[in-house]
Amino acid sequence: MSTYSETPLSVMKGHLDRVCRVAFHPSGDYVASASFDTTWRLWDVATSKELLLQEGHSKEVYTVEFQDDGALVASAYASFSAYCLTST
């Protein structure tokens, strides 16, 4: 039996241009997406809801990646930015 399906399990809508990269949080509860629309976004995997819209890059965002413990996420285009995901 094949697990392949052409029907997506979820569709996360929000980016205004193509998505270049996605990365799962180490917990598996969140996914981050980097886009040519100059933003990266954080999504809840279970609900497909956008949790965070991070603006600030002046050009396309090519990559996004979580630190091993999930406390930080980094995004980059021609420059580099890091964001803390923990709340106090």
pTM (2 d.p.): 0.81
12-51 tens-digit pLDDT: 999 999 999 999 999 999 999 999 999 999 999 999 999 9
Query: Which residues contact residue 79 at a Cβ distance below 8 angstroms, ignoring those fewer than 6 apart?
Result: 57
Cβ burial 46-81 (10 Å sphere, 16+ → b, else e): eeeeeeeebeebeebbeebebeeebeebbbbbeeee
Mean pLDDT throughout 58-82? 84
